[in-house]
């Protein structure tokens, strides 16, 4: 692992972030919310429809956590001051490789 | 994402496993336990020493979950019927690419 071959201070820092990062993306429904936003910005109701089984409360919570971590932007749509849309930021979109690695791992182990 | 371009039955299956997989590896301390086993088999006490902050109860719980999912093997050491060692299976070791993707994502976003 890269982490072990760096300077100790660096590796400690990165490992600590690894710990936070893996548990962040592994929070209940978090992976599904990120996945669902990968193909473009969506309204709250679109996300709720697409992610089968998530409650409005948990969807709100996960979206707020993603916004706080600057992985998602909340934008007011031009035609309304009430209608909002959620979109992955560049940082959020770069999680695509992590998701792809998980999908590849699943596919590999289903053989 | 691969998942959307497959047959609907397939994608539903893989997405469902994606949901389970990401929340499994994201369980509290799970990522750290997997990470710690990446450089070779370890005794319980070695893992407990290396993973700063984990309780014996949670380490036991995570190891048992990993064994149940066939990601870790528990082996009795030859010189004793009490001493055991934990090692990633091939399936567990293949999570390395997921961990590397997370480390790469962190490094990329620290710039």
Question: Residues A70-90: pLDDT tens digits?
Answer: 999 999 887 767 789 999 999
Residue A2: CB partners within 8 Å, gap ≥ 6? A14, B100, B103, B107
Show the tokens assigned to B14: 């893989």
Summarize the confidence of residues B40-67 as an average pLDDT. Answer: 96
Q: Is residue A99 less than 8 Å (CB to CB) from chain B?
A: yes
**Segment holding B2, helix H or strand E:** none
ipTM for the whole complex = 0.85
Show the tokens assigned to B68: 């149940």
For residue B10, the model assigns a pLDDT of 46
Of B108, B102, B24, B106, nearest in space to B70 by CA: B24
CB contact under 8 A, A2 and B94: no
Question: In Å, how far are A14, A45, A47, A60, A75 from A79, measured between CA atoms?
Answer: 43, 17, 20, 22, 12
For residue A6, the model assigns a pLDDT of 36
pLDDT digits (tens, 9 = 90+) for B71-106: 999 998 877 677 899 999 999 999 999 999 999 999
Summarize the confidence of residues B15-32 as an average pLDDT. Answer: 91
List, as ranges, residues 2-61 from B with C-beta within 8 Å of A.
2-4, 14-15, 17-19, 21-28, 30-32, 35, 38-39
- Strand B72-76, strand A84-88: pairing: unpaired
Rounded to a whole number, what is the distance in Å from the CA of B82 to chain A's nearest CA? 31
First to last CA, chain A: 26
Which three-class secondary structure state does DSSP give residue B81? Answer: coil
Summarize the confidence of residues A42-61 as an average pLDDT. Answer: 96
For residue B59, the model assigns a pLDDT of 98
Residues of B in contact with A103 (CB under 8 A): 1-3, 14, 18
Residues of B in contact with A104 (CB under 8 A): 97
Determine the residue among B12, B109, B110 to mutate to test chain A binding: the one whose Cβ has the most chain A Cβ atoms within 10 Å.
Answer: B109
Q: Are A19 and A80 in contact (CB under 8 A)?
A: no
**Segment holding B85, helix H or strand E:** strand B84-88
Of A11, A59, A14, nearest in space to A33 by CA: A59
CB atoms within 10 A of CB B54: 18
For residue B18, the model assigns a pLDDT of 93
Alpha helices in chain B (DSSP H): 8-25, 30-37, 44-50, 56-68, 90-93, 96-110
Nearest to A101 among B38, B91, B101 (CB): B101
């Amino acid at each position: 692992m890269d982490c072990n071959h760096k300077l100790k201070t660096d590796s400690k820092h990165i490992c600590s972030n690894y710990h936070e990062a893996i548990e962040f993306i592994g929070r209940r429904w978090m992976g599904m919310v990120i996945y669902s936003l990968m193909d473009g910005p969506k309204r709250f109701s679109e996300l709720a429809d697409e992610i089968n089984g998530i409650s409005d409360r948990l969807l709100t919570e996960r979206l707020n956590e993603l916004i706080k971590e600057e992985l998602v932007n909340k934008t007011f749509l031009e035609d309304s001051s009430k209608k909002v849309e959620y979109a992955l930021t560049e940082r959020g979109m770069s999680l695509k490789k992590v998701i792809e690695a998980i999908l590849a791992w699943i596919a590999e182990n289903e053989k």
